[in-house]
Amino acid sequence: MRMTPPLPRLYSFRRCPYAMRARMALLVSGVSFSLTEVSLKAKPPAMLAASPKGTVPVLIFPGGQVLDESLDIMRWALGQNDPENWLVDDREGSETHALIARNDGPFKHHLDRYKYATRYSDDGDAMSAAAHRAAAMEILVDLDTRLAGRLNLVAERPTLADIALFPFVRQFARHDPDWWASQPFAHLQQWLERHLSSPLFQIAIRKDASVDAP
């Protein structure tokens, strides 16, 4: 009887934006993987042994190799197969790299302190939640301006930049949906809605996300 070879195992939490973008890259690539949905209150010992920092996503290969950064997982998956050409602009000094660096750095900093103000109240930050929201808004206004001339951030079709950023914009928008809907950046709001309604995202957000590309 022929044995099925073991698959890479992804430890994930479906609402985490980092894990979300990793799942989407794995799904679009068509790479087979096993999915373990993690309870953040009771993280699996196997995950913690592989990645002691205890954050998702973590991709563990049968041979013991570990990828525990979402962008590394995305680039590995797309390096196996990139059917929608997401990596078209993924090079040093590119728009993609600049957009992701700003998202994962300043934008995420302000997003966390806007959304979880009480959690960061003792970290010596003098800025209020409203001030952090305003600082994040400056970045979002720039994204809206960028989207005025095209459907996605660096091309007409989605690329790595769009998939890497939109889960964080989603998180920002969901914190106060009525306020978000009243803001004057229609291009960014439409961009977000297109990605949220995509078949790929609809699969990726499920707890039992399929290992098969849609």
**Over its length of 214 residues, how does the chain's per-residue pLDDT go in tens digits?**
556 778 999 999 999 999 999 999 999 999 999 999 999 899 999 999 999 999 999 999 999 999 999 999 999 999 999 999 999 999 999 999 999 999 999 999 999 999 987 777 666 666 899 999 999 999 999 999 999 989 999 999 999 999 999 999 999 999 999 999 999 999 999 999 999 999 999 999 987 764 443 3
- Note the pTM of the prediction, 2 decimals: 0.93
**Residues paired with residue 66 on neighbouring β-strands, in sequence order:** 60
Residue type, 213: A
**Residues paired with residue 111 on neighbouring β-strands, in sequence order:** none
pLDDT at 40: 86
Rounded distance between C-alpha atoms, residue 1 and residue 16, angstroms: 40
pLDDT at 212: 41
Q: Are 47 and 84 in contact (CB under 8 A)?
A: no
Q: What is the pLDDT of residues 19-61, one digit of tens each?
A: 999 999 999 999 999 999 999 899 999 999 999 999 999 999 9
pLDDT at 214: 33
pLDDT at 191: 98
pLDDT at 209: 67
Query: Do the bridges between strand 58-60 and strand 66-67 make them parallel or antiparallel, or are there none, so unpaired?
Result: antiparallel
**Residues paired with residue 67 on neighbouring β-strands, in sequence order:** 59
Rounded distance between C-alpha atoms, residue 163 and residue 186, angstroms: 19
Q: How far is CA 73 from the centre of its chain?
A: 11
Alpha-helical runs (H) found in 10-107: 17-29, 45-50, 70-80, 95-102
Q: 183-192: which pairs have CB atoms within 8 A and are 24 or more residues apart?
A: 183/137, 185/140, 185/141, 185/143, 185/144, 186/144, 187/144, 187/145, 187/147, 187/148, 188/140, 188/143, 188/144, 188/147, 190/147, 191/143, 191/147, 191/151, 191/152, 191/153, 191/162, 191/166, 192/166
